[in-house]
Structures are given as structure tokens and as C-alpha cells.
Amino acid sequence: MARHVPSRFIEKVRSVREIVDEAQSSRDGPPFEVSLEVAPGVRVVRGQARGRELAFSLWTYPTDIAELCGDGAVPATAAALLVHRDDARRLQSDGVFVDLSQLVRSESYPGYYYALFDYASPLQLRRTMTRLVPAFAADETARA
């Protein structure tokens, strides 16, 4: 039997996806930024690699994380950083490699990949982005 997913949550995922898409198409962002909430319990983590905007969603509500990951045991984590497969492919077509093998594929929401955090500080997020997007690390080093 299929599990029930509230339509409000499906709409929230869709809305956040649109916000992330908009953030990726914007070329005026800082080298690295964690936004204010764009939806309840969701922020956008932005960066740049090879002149291309990167944007991932950062989910912090335990119930949202459990729903996205498809596992009720997950709420012990502080946050989940999500990226959609199509966004990663779009970046890769622009020459920016995104290492999806570093992430876990969502069973509940096909196309989404995530990393879980026990503590989601800007430093931890920056480290994760440098691991996921090697060009981000190279751009960070060049700016330093």
C-alpha cells in the first residue's frame, strides 16, 4: 500500500525546487551564502563554480527530512542538503562536475539526492560543497 504524502508537502517541495532553479539562474550572488528561510524550515545554500551559480536546498525540519529521506529514523539529524539530478546534469553540461556519488538517492522523491548533517554550520556546508563540486573548491582557493 502506498504511503500518504500530504499535498501541502508535495507543494512545498515543488515550490522550493522553483526557488532553487531561480537561484541557479541568477548570476549576481556572492561566492558562498546560506539564505534566510525561503519556506518554513528551508534555506538555499549558494555558491559559484567556474562562473556558474550553484544552489542546493537545506531542509531543517525533522518531519520534512524524514519525509524526503523516506525514513522515520532520520529526524535525529539537524539538516539535509538536497540537489535534484536535473540541476546536477545542467551544471555538468556547463562543465561543472557535481559528484552525486557522494550523496544518497531519495527513495521517496525520485531525482533528489541528499547529504545529512548532525550540525549544519556554514563551515560544514562549505566543506560539503567543496567535496560535491570540485570546481567550487578550486574557485574558493583562487579567491583566498
* Rounded Cα gap, residues 58 and 116, in angstroms: 10
pLDDT of residue 76: 65
pLDDT of residue 1: 40
DSSP state of 39: B
pLDDT tens for residues 74-122? 656 789 999 999 999 999 998 999 999 999 999 889 999 999 998 888 8
DSSP state of 3: P
Quickly count: other Cβ atoms within 10 Å of residue 70's Cβ: 12
pLDDT of residue 142: 46
Question: For the chain, what is the mean pLDDT?
Answer: 85
Residue 143 has pLDDT above 60, yes or no: no
The pTM of the full predicted model, rounded to 2 decimals, is 0.83
- The three-point CA angle 102-41-100 to 5° equals 15
- List the chain domain ranges: 7-131
